[in-house]
Structure 1
């Protein structure tokens, strides 16, 4: 049977059952997509190669331990491993801002009007995924500013114009939205950054 016709899940099973060649087929099948994803985040070919190799070392170890249970979802699982390794890399570089639960909690240090760099973009994506549902619990005026800022990428000048308030009022609403969001995050025990 042509290896290209064999599904990922069958190849995974074959590898777990001792067929080393199956893993090679899986790596070749998905290398381009996974490597491109890693490279797009780290912007360094050598580093991307290292993270790609680390990703598959983790894949192999997990499969050999019998801890793989993502039936039919091999690629998304590998992409998640790669994504976590990228975040680990940036954290080791001490370039990811960490969040402290204080009243000075300042999301502006992460989400600025400047073009977001790679590490901050990773953090922003994580935050957007984790807190999107909590935004609904905020008061309407705070929710409106937060949605415009985080989800529509509008500047505070644009938010002020769209909501017919001063920039200071828009900033104030954003600040209160973030304070309330932090309380909701603590209440729901959401972790903003994978530890």
Structure 2
């Protein structure tokens, strides 16, 4: 799948590298199918959690958690296809930074499909490795599943860098405090993403 990747560049106001990889998914229909999967399974949806608790002042979303074992089930085939695309993105990311060649094999654990309605957000500035429970995380990843024209961007505070959701846009970034970020309030319609982490083997 590497030959089908569309690598893009994120322009930052800073001269230093920001280590945020960006790709555009060639098969946009995958995004539509993941959204359809989300909407067809209301029984799997829960209020989004931040720091292992629900708090609408910090994060306001509806989430479906996907477990690695789920990918073996026929009705999760579209998610499995997406993960194959994500793996190709990571291979390309690792090829850009020689140091990553010495990393052990990384794994993907439980991850989420999320829907943010108008007023939804992840307003608290946070990183993806904040405590012992998340210390195994190395990278975070996210694909925007639809275009969002009013709000809903992801802002990396140390780089003064904002990414506006566009269908198929996929980012990978380090889980460390250096990549603290927040999600702007969605001002109209919906924002859908699929997101999770790459971590050291258990």
Q: TM-score range by the shorter chain?
A: under 0.3
What TM-score do the two structures reach when normalised by structure 2? 0.26
What TM-score do the two structures reach when normalised by structure 1? 0.27
Pair member with larger Rg? 1
The structure carrying a bigger helix percent of its residues is 1
